[in-house]
């Protein structure tokens, strides 16, 4: 590009760019501009919205904490373990104390 103060001619690209920027600057007038809004109104809404969001998140966290602690706290404690009992059915015969006897041959048994 052209250095300022050297008196050299501008290139065609520089000339077109300068004329485009000048035309744009002259096309905007005071009627096209509007006054700025005070920044306090936007800032107070943002702060209020942020506080409401943080409050809702804190409330949700507390509700979840209460829900999970109360739900587990109402259950009864587990009963102690017991020895399993056999199912009730027909009672099995109880063996009696029998004295051993000597074996005698049966009367119907063949004799040797």
pLDDT (tens digit per residue) in 77-100: 677 777 777 667 666 666 666 666
What's the predicted TM-score (pTM) here?
0.31
Least confident range from 3-12, 33-42, 98-107: namely 98-107
Across residues 21-33, what is the average pLDDT? 89
Coil vs helix vs strand at 17:
helix
Given a contact cutoff of 8 angstroms between Cβ atoms, the answer to whether 1 and 15 are in contact is no
């Amino acid at each position: 590009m052209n250095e300022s103060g050297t008196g050299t001619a501008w290139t065609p690209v520089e000339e077109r760019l300068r004329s485009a920027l000048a035309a744009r600057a002259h096309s905007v007038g005071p009627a096209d501009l509007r006054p700025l809004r005070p920044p306090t109104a936007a800032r107070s809404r943002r702060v209020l919205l942020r506080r409401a969001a943080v409050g809702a998140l804190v409330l949700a966290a507390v509700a979840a904490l209460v829900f999970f602690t109360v739900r587990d706290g109402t259950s009864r404690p587990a009963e102690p373990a017991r020895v399993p009992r056999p199912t009730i059915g027909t009672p099995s015969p109880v063996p009696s104390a029998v004295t051993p006897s000597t074996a005698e041959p049966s009367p119907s048994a063949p004799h040797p």
